Amino acid sequence: MIPRTAASTLLRLAKGFPILAITGPRQTGKTTLARSTFPEKPYLSLEDPDIRALAAEDPRGLLSRYPTGAILDEVQRVPALLSYLQTQVDAHPQPGAFVLTGSQQLDLSSALSQSLAGRVGLLNLLPFSLGELQAAGCPPDNLDTLLWRGLYPPLYDRDLAPGDWQAAYVSTFVERDLRQLLAVRDLSAFQRFVRMCAARIGQLLNLSSLATDCGITHNTAGAWLSVLEASHLVFLLRPHHRNFNKRLVKTPKLYFNDPGLAAWLLGIRDTGQMAFHPSRGALFENLVFLECLKDHLHRGLPADLHFWRDSAGLEVDLLREQHGFLHPIEIKSGQTLATDFFAGLQRWGLLSGTAAAAPWLVYGGDQALRRGSTDIIPWRDLPRRLLDLDGASQAP
């Protein structure tokens, strides 16, 4: 089993909250994380029809069997159980007693906020980070393989071809679960919508254009996108709100939860195709965004990530907020550095002044360099640099 950095976050939360909840997309390793972090706890899966029936018909009786707590897997299957769980932990408070996991963000998030506010420590779990794969000694050999394969756990703990797994994942989670959640009647329109989203990775979101290209209404596109976002299949990166320049764009950018899944939706079937695909740069940008996002979420921190772009088109791909400073990160997939790579960072530096930390340029090459105040970081070094940054922020 590949160790998860989120395990230490769970142990920290278990010291202060009677209930822990691990949410995230399907197949990101939530159950494995819960059981490996708390191996002494009894485990119940509410996917099991018998246990689900007992939880629905006699929730008090079920919980009374586990006075010191348990792991309740896929708890969104019986949302009414959460109200009884609230009563139990209020009567017998014990830090870290119950660990809940759930995949359907809309159902679970609503139930948690209504029934367990103030009693639950939340962790959002995404697929593996590059740093986790490096620590386990099993990172992909090269960047094209990483972008094509992606970072979902089943592709690293089973003998699975990426295309086979991704096809099954899209068929079950995207086209079955999410389609049912949305009550979508036209499957082909929904399939086209998800693929069109993948084709817009790293771009400013134009919902009207997206709706037109898919042959659906603007309102339908907005509703479908909201569910994809709530299910953590896609993320919307918002522009930074601080008014360094009045002529700023206010539209978010779109990313997927895994570059390999997005690559499959784009029709990329092998690494040779990836090397020359026009979306390779966007998929690399998606990868770097996800590494920074996982660095926040897996440590139990808010996703304080933004981008900046002015009306002239100058842009900084990513801004990380940390200790009152904004850390600008430019992302380029090429291995050869060009002068125009630095234009957005230079413009940002002039506008932000002392509000900005030292800039990074993360690129697809292998050599660490420095140009002026900008650290030029090879993609393989990004996990270590994020770890160094986190360590420095926690130092006394």
Per-residue pLDDT, 110: 65
Domain segments of the chain: what residues? 6-124, 130-279, 305-394
- Residue 116 is predicted with a pLDDT of 77
Are residues 26 and 152 in contact, defined by beta-carbon separation less than 8 angstroms? no
Distances (CA, A) of 303 to 293, 294, 355: 6, 9, 19
Contact 325, 272 (CB under 8 A): no
Pairing of strands 325-332, 374-378: unpaired
d(CA 210, CA 360): 32
Predicted confidence at residue 117, as pLDDT, reads 74
Q: Which CATH number fits domain 6-124: 1.10.10.60, 3.30.70.100, 3.40.50.300, 3.40.630.40?
A: 3.40.50.300
Residue 395: the pLDDT is: 43
How far apart are the C-alpha atoms of 374 and 345, rounded to whole Å? 9
* pLDDT by 10-residue block (mean), the chain, 396 residues: 96 96 93 97 96 95 94 91 90 93 69 76 96 96 97 94 94 79 82 95 96 94 91 92 66 97 97 96 98 96 90 88 86 94 89 78 96 95 91 52
Report the top-level CATH class of 305-394.
Answer: alpha beta
How far apart (Å, rounded) are the C-alpha atoms in residues 217 and 49? Answer: 39
CATH 3.60.15.10 fits 130-279, yes or no: no
* CB contact at 8 A, 33 and 7: yes
